[in-house]
Amino acid sequence: MELEAQWWTGQLAADIHQALRYKELKLPSYKGQSPQLHLRRYFADLIAIVSNRFRLCPAARHLAVYLLDLFMDRYDISTQQLHVVALSCLLLASKFEEKEDSVPKLEQLNSLGCMTNMNLVLTKQNLLHMELLLLETFQWNLCLPTAAHFIDYYLSIAVHETDLHDGWPMVCLEKTKLYMAKYADYFLEVSLQDHEFLNYAPSLVATACVASSRIILRLSPTWPTRLHHLTAYSWDFLVPCIERLLIAHDNDVKEANKQKGQQAQSAQHAVFQPPAPSAQQASAQQHVPQYLQAQQSSLQYHHAAAQQQSCQQMLPSAPAAPYPLQTCPAALQSGAQARGHAQPGAAVALAVPLDVKPCLSVSYNRTYHVNGRYSCITPCFER
């Protein structure tokens, strides 16, 4: 949307936020009834990859995926044409959110690998027709708030000097804010991968991304009063969405650790099981086992340490079951309906294992209360 850069820091931030919250109440309904719903993940990834290649802002990326979801929900389209639809959604979103010189060009889109593999060539006329169809579908209204439009406003107060890390003061506030921004961006991208997040209001998804980041970073209180007042969402109202995000995080960590373990095993196999020695090496073979036994303990230590290092962002799997729709918090307009979720239930302890951050003070095991039980590891980000 045509918002001033860093609007969340200006004097009109509260008014702009209220306007966005009002617009999200009027978002088109999503039913998840597309015959190509199983392809949705691929095209969401395609939009993300192309937007990253052209360095488009997160708002353009999220708006493009949202336009694609709404269009697929209403039309039965061939797989080949879905490539054109996805790229057209990205073009429309970039024209709406970005400056003109940042919008991808036609020849740049045709040079993409996916277009070559599908034997597709975009023409100016085809793009114009597709963009017109998209605009008519959405009644020429692209002012559709997404979670990416809210996240920066909530991140502005997500970390405060009064927050504690495992009950201890933070060593470096600025670095903690950087970690918070990275984790919030990670959870924001997780929300793009599963269409079930469309059942939540965009502001609720953005709020849950901040709350999930505070859980992973082990900041207390988990949901401070300042964030409750700013977002107008209580902790109980956020729990279902937070659960989905944490489950995706756990799956990513497990998958990353599994791949690292396989790589380490391959490396060990190459080191400890070399090809048959030559005749010249036969006389030296008797000394090799003793050397390996002497070094085995240290090698195991380094292997275990390697598994605790940062993991790559992987795509989530095994989404949780959907939750029934509920109304928005009372802090918003009375009687207004939001697309958020709430599910009461007994709170179970969330155990977070020890993982010391370089920017935080000495870490101790802590417990946070949330529905469900997770083992949330805190990987560093190396990107």
pLDDT of residue 239: 95
Domain boundaries for CATH 1.10.472.10 within the chain: 28-144
pLDDT of residue 313: 36
Give the CA dihedral 152, 156, 157, 162, nearest 10 degrees. 130
Amino acid 300 reads Q
pLDDT of residue 99: 87
Exposed, middle or buried, 140 (CB in 10 Å: 0-12/13-18/19+)?
exposed
Compute the distance between CA of residue 103 and CA of residue 121 in angstroms, rounded to an integer.
18
pLDDT of residue 69: 94
Model confidence, pTM: 0.68
pLDDT of residue 102: 85
User: How many Cβ atoms sit within 10 Å of the Cβ of residue 293?
Assistant: 9
**Strand order through the sheet with 164-165:** 168-169, 164-165, 219-220
Exposed, middle or buried, 111 (CB in 10 Å: 0-12/13-18/19+)?
exposed
DSSP three-state, residue 278: coil
pLDDT of residue 121: 80
* DSSP 8-state symbol, 325: B
Among 228, 220, 312, 223, residue whose Cα is nearest residue 263: 312
Place of tokens 């417990």: 367
For the chain, which residues score pLDDT lower than 50?
A: 1-2, 278-383
Architecture of domain 28-144: Orthogonal Bundle (1.10)
pLDDT of residue 65: 95
pLDDT of residue 269: 64
User: How many Cβ atoms sit within 10 Å of the Cβ of residue 144?
Assistant: 21
pLDDT of residue 289: 37
DSSP characters over 66-92:
HHHHHHHTT----HHHHHHHHHHHHHH
Q: Which residues pair with 288 in a beta bridge?
A: none
Q: Which fold would CATH assign to domain 148-247? A: Cyclin A; domain 1 (1.10.472)
Give the contacts of 22 (CB within 8 A, at least 6 positions apart). 333
DSSP characters over 341-374:
B------EEEEE-----TTS-----EEEEESS--
Q: pLDDT tens for residues 220-252?
A: 999 999 999 999 999 999 999 999 999 999 998
